[in-house]
């Protein structure tokens, strides 16, 4: 594809279509049929735009790049610092990530409009805003919009969770909003520090300033900015020590909502991580700090998953621990590690969505998702059982599924930089993921059904989830599962279908582990 020198048409559309869709479905409120068609058309249009769009830039405030031939330096340093250089970029990485997110959006909208909630308008609107916030963060090349994207994303996450029920959901939303307020303020302070230090909001310009200027004592300000950025990164991905809070958020939302939440979260993690690598990658100890957080997240997340007895909460903790896999790749920062980390982000979104939608389908069978209450589902819904088992294989890094391909790249890159302990942790994560998931799958799907119904905590207040009430699993849910399982298998056999979109960024951003 040819890079456009003029403002690219698709970038504003990828942000504005979900925002307009949000406004329209909010106004429609509970006219569910109209909401269904409008939201599906909007979501499908986002898939098409992502596929058809050429690569290029979008400049806000009408200030085009002085040097359009390079992807890195947009503005000349001689220009007065108050020029804003607010810039968006749509390239191969953005195309791959936004396409996957748009695909998940279509599937989630298809499921969400099938009747789980009564007043669908505001809820569907928030799902669209999740897409918009992640799209902003993935495409942006200035700190100002990055911060705005993070703030919008945080508020919308709270909204999606609060809309999923009462009690636990509202508490999780409140805690999350408090922490989001902290991390959002932290990111604003980091923005102010970098702006004060370099005079630039544009990330590429700030990086060039940092690389070409002898900062002397000013690097301490850079460290403080790194600290605040790390806070925001930790919060966006639910990394250690925020992992229990983020898991609570994932566990408190509808499973299909969680599929979209985890997609947004992974994309934010990748985007903020890449900005951190570009801005602070050359600072001593910066990547070591990022790597330590990632490894701890993997370990603590999976241990918490092993302790759970509900498939929904097992998945909530596994999503967080697998976020650590993505960030290991970004923290190592070498070419291979970056390819592995970015590929892991794509794979993670896909196989976790399989498991989450499978978890949602289990609700329709009436006995909740606890390993203590649900049983014998493989007999009632064999295709569902098959899809969840295949999703488990993908999540555990078993060939020929996609999880295997990205994990093997990450293990190889950890060994290449001389960190075999990181490779061992990744292997342990794979094995424990399999144990945690298969234990739940055995109980829920394969164990013979018990005739006595135990009391299920009504976390999702919906008619479909009343204890003991069995409703047919919608065909759309089966179709979504089938599409996702096929994609995980295809990407496991032909990983180059995605990897070729990730290599340009990995080449541009990678830094040797010990320069």
Partner 1 sequence: MIEVTIQLLSFFAAAALVIIGITGMLFLDNLIKKIIAFILLSDGVNLMLVAVGYVEGGIVSILLPGMSPSEFASKAILVFPVGIVLTNIVISVSTTAVLVALVIMLYRRYGTLKSSKVLKEERR
Nearest approach in angstroms of CB 507 to partner 1 is 32
| Shorter beta-carbon distance to partner 1: residue 92 or 199 | 199
Binding test (CB under 8 A) with partner 1, winner from 77, 171, 306, 489:
171
- Separation between Cα atoms, residue 80 and residue 87, nearest integer Å: 17
Nearest approach in angstroms of CB 195 to partner 1 is 6
CB atoms within 10 A of CB 61: 9
- What element of type H or E holds 88? strand 87-90
Closest residue by Cα to residue 329 from 344, 313, 317, 346: 344
Closest residue by Cα to residue 99 from 135, 128, 133, 127: 135
| Shorter beta-carbon distance to partner 1: residue 63 or 114 | 63
| Shorter beta-carbon distance to partner 1: residue 187 or 286 | 187
Binding test (CB under 8 A) with partner 1, winner from 175, 372, 439, 447:
175
Nearest approach in angstroms of CB 1 to partner 1 is 32
- Strands (DSSP E) along 55-132, which ranges? 55-59, 87-90
Report residue 204 as tokens: 């590429």
Report residue 225 as tokens: 């900015």
Nearest approach in angstroms of CB 81 to partner 1 is 7
| Shorter beta-carbon distance to partner 1: residue 139 or 191 | 191
- Separation between Cα atoms, residue 252 and residue 245, nearest integer Å: 10
Contact predicate 35/72, CB 8 Å:
no
Report residue 189 as tokens: 């302070």
| Shorter beta-carbon distance to partner 1: residue 79 or 482 | 79
CB atoms within 10 A of CB 51: 11
Contact flag: residue 178 with partner 1 (CB under 8 A): yes
Contact flag: residue 188 with partner 1 (CB under 8 A): yes
Report residue 509 as tokens: 């951003």
| Shorter beta-carbon distance to partner 1: residue 268 or 378 | 268
Contact flag: residue 306 with partner 1 (CB under 8 A): no
Binding test (CB under 8 A) with partner 1, winner from 76, 166, 288, 466:
166
Binding test (CB under 8 A) with partner 1, winner from 47, 185, 218, 289:
185
DSSP state of 47: H
Bridge-based pairing state of the strands 87-90 and 55-59: antiparallel
Binding test (CB under 8 A) with partner 1, winner from 13, 34, 77, 168:
168
Nearest approach in angstroms of CB 96 to partner 1 is 30
| Shorter beta-carbon distance to partner 1: residue 87 or 407 | 87
φ/ψ (deg, to 5) at 473: -70, 130
Nearest approach in angstroms of CB 95 to partner 1 is 28
Q: Cis peptide before 392, with omega less than 30 degrees from 0?
A: no
Binding test (CB under 8 A) with partner 1, winner from 87, 205, 310, 407:
310
Helix locations, 281-310, DSSP H: 286-307
70 Rama sector, left if φ>0, alpha if ψ -120 to 50, beta otherwise: beta
Contact predicate 401/393, CB 8 Å:
yes
Contact predicate 399/492, CB 8 Å:
yes
The Cα angle at residue 112 between residues 349 and 390, in degrees rounded to 5: 40
Contact predicate 25/128, CB 8 Å:
yes
- Separation between Cα atoms, residue 113 and residue 96, nearest integer Å: 26
Nearest approach in angstroms of CB 5 to partner 1 is 25
Nearest approach in angstroms of CB 312 to partner 1 is 9
- Separation between Cα atoms, residue 119 and residue 18, nearest integer Å: 19
Nearest approach in angstroms of CB 178 to partner 1 is 6
Report residue 58 as tokens: 């979008």
Nearest approach in angstroms of CB 120 to partner 1 is 20
Binding test (CB under 8 A) with partner 1, winner from 12, 54, 64, 167:
167
Site for partner 1 in 62-91 (CB under 8 A): 80-82, 84
Binding test (CB under 8 A) with partner 1, winner from 53, 133, 201, 480:
201
- Separation between Cα atoms, residue 475 and residue 1, nearest integer Å: 37
- Which region, judged by CB under 8 A, interacts with partner 1, from 39-47, 172-180, 320-328, 329-337? 172-180
Binding test (CB under 8 A) with partner 1, winner from 77, 189, 415, 435:
189
x/- binding map, residues 244-263, to partner 1, per CB under 8 A?
-------x------------
x/- binding map, residues 136-165, to partner 1, per CB under 8 A?
--------x--xx--x---x--xx--x---
Bridge partners of 57, per DSSP, are 89
SS (HEC) of 180-202: HHHHHHHHHHHHHHHHHHHCCCE
- Separation between Cα atoms, residue 32 and residue 206, nearest integer Å: 47
Q: Cis peptide before 423, with omega less than 30 degrees from 0?
A: no
Contact flag: residue 473 with partner 1 (CB under 8 A): no
- Which region, judged by CB under 8 A, interacts with partner 1, from 11-19, 305-313, 353-361, 409-417? 305-313
- Which region, judged by CB under 8 A, interacts with partner 1, from 35-43, 180-188, 389-397, 404-412? 180-188
Size of the site for partner 1 (CB under 8 A): 39
Nearest approach in angstroms of CB 374 to partner 1 is 15
- Which region, judged by CB under 8 A, interacts with partner 1, from 95-103, 170-178, 212-220, 469-477? 170-178
Q: Which residues bind partner 1 (CB under 8 A)?
A: 80-82, 84, 144, 147-148, 151, 155, 158-159, 162, 166-168, 170-171, 173-175, 177-178, 180-182, 184-185, 188-189, 191-192, 195-196, 201, 251, 308, 310, 313, 457
């Amino acid at each position: 594809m040819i890079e456009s020198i003029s403002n690219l048409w698709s970038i504003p559309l990828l942000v504005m279509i979900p925002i307009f869709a949000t406004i329209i479905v909010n106004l429609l409120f509970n006219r569910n049929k109209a909401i269904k068609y409008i939201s599906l058309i909007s979501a499908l249009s986002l898939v098409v735009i992502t596929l058809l769009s050429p690569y290029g830039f979008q400049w806000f405030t009408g200030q085009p790049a002085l040097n359009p031939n390079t992807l890195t330096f947009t503005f000349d340093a001689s220009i007065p610092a108050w020029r804003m250089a607010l810039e968006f970029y749509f390239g191969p990485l953005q195309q791959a990530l936004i396409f996957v997110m748009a695909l998940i959006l279509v599937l989630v909208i298809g499921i969400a409009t099938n009747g789980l909630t009564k007043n669908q308008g505001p809820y569907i609107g928030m799902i669209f805003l999740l897409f918009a916030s992640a799209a902003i963060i993935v495409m942006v090349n200035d700190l100002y919009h990055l911060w705005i994207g993070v703030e919008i994303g945080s508020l919308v996450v709270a909204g999606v969770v609060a809309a999923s029920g009462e009690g636990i959901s509202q508490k999780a939303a409140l805690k999350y909003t408090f922490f989001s307020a902290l991390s959002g303020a932290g990111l604003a302070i980091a923005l102010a520090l970098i702006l004060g230090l370099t005079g630039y909001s544009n990330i590429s310009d700030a990086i060039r300033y940092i690389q070409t200027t002898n900062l002397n004592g000013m690097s301490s300000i850079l460290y403080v900015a790194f600290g605040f950025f790390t806070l925001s990164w930790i919060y966006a991905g639910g990394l250690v020590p925020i992992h229990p809070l983020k898991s609570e958020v994932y566990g408190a939302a509808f499973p299909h909502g969680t599929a979209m939440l985890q997609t947004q979260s992974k994309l934010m993690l990748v985007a903020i991580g890449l900005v951190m690598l570009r801005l602070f990658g050359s600072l001593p100890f910066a990547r070591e700090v990022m790597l330590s957080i990632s490894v701890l997240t993997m370990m603590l997340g999976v241990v918490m998953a092993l302790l759970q007895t509900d498939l929904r909460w097992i998945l909530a903790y596994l999503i967080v621990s697998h976020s650590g896999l993505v960030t290991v790749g970004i923290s190592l920062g070498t070419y291979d590690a970056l390819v592995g980390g970015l590929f892991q982000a794509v794979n993670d979104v896909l196989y976790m969505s399989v498991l989450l939608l499978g978890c949602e389908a289990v609700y329709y069978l009436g006995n909740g998702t606890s390993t203590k209450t649900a049983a014998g589902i493989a007999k009632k819904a064999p295709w569902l059982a098959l899809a969840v088992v295949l999703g488990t294989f993908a999540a555990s890094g078993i060939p020929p599924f996609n999880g295997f391909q990205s994990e093997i790249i990450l293990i190889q890159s950890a060994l290449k930089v001389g960190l075999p302990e990181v490779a061992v942790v990744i292997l342990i994560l794979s094995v424990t993921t399999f144990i945690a998931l298969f234990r739940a799958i055995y109980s829920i799907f394969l164990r013979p059904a018990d005739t006595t119904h135990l009391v299920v905590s009504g976390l999702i207040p919906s008619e479909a989830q009343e204890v003991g009430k069995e409703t047919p699993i919608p065909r759309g849910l089966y179709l979504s599962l089938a599409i996702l399982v096929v994609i995980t298998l295809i990407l496991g056999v032909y990983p180059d279908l995605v990897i070729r979109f990730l290599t340009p960024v990995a080449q541009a951003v990678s830094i040797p582990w010990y320069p």
